[in-house]
Amino acid sequence: MDLLMPHRDRLTLRPVSAEKSARPSPRSHVRFHDEFRGALRLLKHAVTHRSSARFAPAATQPKARASVPPGSLVAASYNVHRCIGADKRFDPGRIAAVIEELDADIVALQEADRRFGYRAGLLDLGEVERRTGLTLVPVSPVPGGHGWRGNALLVRGGKVTRVRRLALPGAEPRGALIVDLAMPAGGLRVVAAHLGLLRRHRALQATAILAALHDAAPMPTVLLGDMNEWRTGVNSSLTRLEPLFGPFIHPHQPSFPARLPFLALDQILGHPRGLVLPPQVHDSPLARVASDHLPLLARIDMSVGLGTVDAQVAA
């Protein structure tokens, strides 16, 4: 298992004096207030303009598995909020039940461990495996942990061939997993990430992920997780990902907060283009209460990925 640290040259980080770094700059306050005001505007728009049907009880959704053809698989991303639901109750069993509803082959989880102190895992892995057949990819650096800096990965029907843990830059202890899988339909690289709360840090973290993938062997790649970014276009910190995962053609799917989702914080992106079909939010009565995020899932068309990679290798 490899531990990757951000490369200073690739990220073009500049040293700052101790005096300057000790106090926040006025510009940083302006950016924070701008992000806060932007979120408030989106909330006001959601409350004012969305129809009353948005607040109706969620209907149970059919499982995505029913529409998955041979040669494809389903991937999902789910911020489980340390198994604390919208009712403030800690209940790993509800999280296991929501994961069962997804019926996915690959599930990237965020906030799967305790956030402070000893980062023990919070999931009931036995219950998850019993319900779904999904097993945990061992990535935690501490006994009893489930993930790397909160990022955990569950896989069904595949074999792990390589695991890399990436420490992302920024003020918070953020990280990403880069896991190469041998799935029945072919090889797949999965990048599971949870980006920071500040836009400038998310931009650095996106650059770090691209740098870590730069020298890797060609392989269909899925990037999924809680990106903490609701903006689109040039104002989005995720534009840093466009050289590999762009252009971003799928409509964003609001997934946060679970009871009134209006922010599209969670993403599933793919390379090459066409690998990831349009994602959809899993909105069920249980998912609305089990966590503060709704899960996001998408079908992965492995035939598209393998054909493009074979062409790259031949060239």
pLDDT score at 29: 57
Tell which wins on pLDDT, 24 or 301.
301
Whole-angstrom distance, CA of residue 311 vs CA of residue 315: 6
pLDDT band for 44, please (50, 70, 90 cuts).
low
Q: Residue 176: what are its φ and ψ, rounded to 5°? A: -145, 150
Whole-angstrom distance, CA of residue 194 vs CA of residue 118: 19
pLDDT score at 251: 86
Q: Where are the beta strands (DSSP E) in 145-210?
A: 152-155, 159-167, 175-183, 186-194
Query: Which of 44-58, 77-91, 133-147, 273-287 has the least mean pLDDT?
Result: 44-58
Name the residue among 118, 119, 214 with its Cα closest to residue 164.
Answer: 214
pLDDT score at 20: 44
What is the arithmetic mean of pLDDT over 75-88?
97
pLDDT score at 300: 97
> 170-227, pLDDT tens digit by residue?
988 999 999 999 999 999 999 999 999 999 999 999 999 999 999 899 999 999 999 9
Whole-angstrom distance, CA of residue 190 vs CA of residue 106: 9
pLDDT score at 187: 97
Whole-angstrom distance, CA of residue 301 vs CA of residue 71: 7
Q: Is the pLDDT of residue 287 over 90?
A: yes
Q: How many CB atoms lie within 10 A of CB 181?
A: 24
pLDDT score at 70: 81
> Helices 199-214 and 26-49 meet at what angle, rounded to 10?
100
Q: What are the CA-CA distances from residue 120 to residues 14, 164, 291 (Å)?
A: 35, 20, 19
> 230-279, pLDDT tens digit by residue?
998 888 999 999 999 998 888 889 999 999 999 999 999 999 999 999 99
pLDDT score at 12: 45
Tell which wins on pLDDT, 44 or 295.
295
Q: How many CB atoms lie within 10 A of CB 141?
A: 12
Terminal C-alpha separation, the chain: 30
Q: Is the pLDDT of residue 22 over 50?
A: no
Q: Residue 24: what are its φ and ψ, rounded to 5°? A: -65, 145
Q: Is the pLDDT of residue 150 over 50?
A: yes
- One DSSP character per residue, 109-143 reads EES-B-SSSS--B-S-HHHHHHHH--EE----SST
